[in-house]
A = this chain, B = another copy of it.
């Protein structure tokens, strides 16, 4: 692997350099192949011979740097230990675009764990949520751990990092927040066609400053003794109810 790229990719493990370079990287043959067919701009593509044989059709008209490398090269610069044979360097979108507020948004207040964020991106994609509004303190969308956990869904779901306290009231959307001790989600009969579902930090929940902005505080009923649910699990259950009861 060319040394300049090797150094660049290694630097992109760190958030600071991702934003300096305005680039990030995607690993894994399937995600890389999907990225090549997405609207993301590609800076460089690295794959093993096997990758280029299998996925030849995906990049026949490439106008970016391409290099055939050994699997050991990919293991050295990426985060995967084994069994993957492609890596693409992508350019970050120039600016954040906010979608029309005629739909449901997911909003995240200070989600800290990259794996949780990635899982939530995948969930949003499953339930047809097109944009996730992230508080400025939410963990970085473009970290390798987040992107890996999203299983390619980051190619379809768009982030919008902003100050939620400022953002939520401006949308005029009805905002539901998942809390402990709120209205039983099972007893909510219907949801409108648009709104915001707000999920809070893994340990601290929704920040106190945001609670007054909620139109409704909702909770997943417990039937046993566990004290809490993981935030990605809770997001899944809320989104499932949303979609089922949307009229």
Q: Taking beta carbons and an 8 Å cutoff, which residues of A are in contact with B?
A: 119, 122-129, 151, 153, 156, 186, 220-230, 232-233, 236-237, 240, 243-244
Contacts and interface: CB of A to CB of B under 8 A. Distances in A.
Given A240-B240, A244-B186, A123 B233 contact: yes
Given A230-B119, A232-B233, A233-B232, A127 B240 contact: no
A236 B233 CA distance: 7
Contacts of A225: 125, 153, 156
Integer count of this chain's copies in the complex: 2
Contacts of A222: 126-128
A128 B220 CA distance: 13
Contact of A224 (B126, B151, B229, B244): B126
A104 to B, nearest CB: 10
A129 B12 CA distance: 44
A154 to B, nearest CB: 11
A119 B226 contact: no
Given A233-B123, A233-B232, A151 B223 contact: no
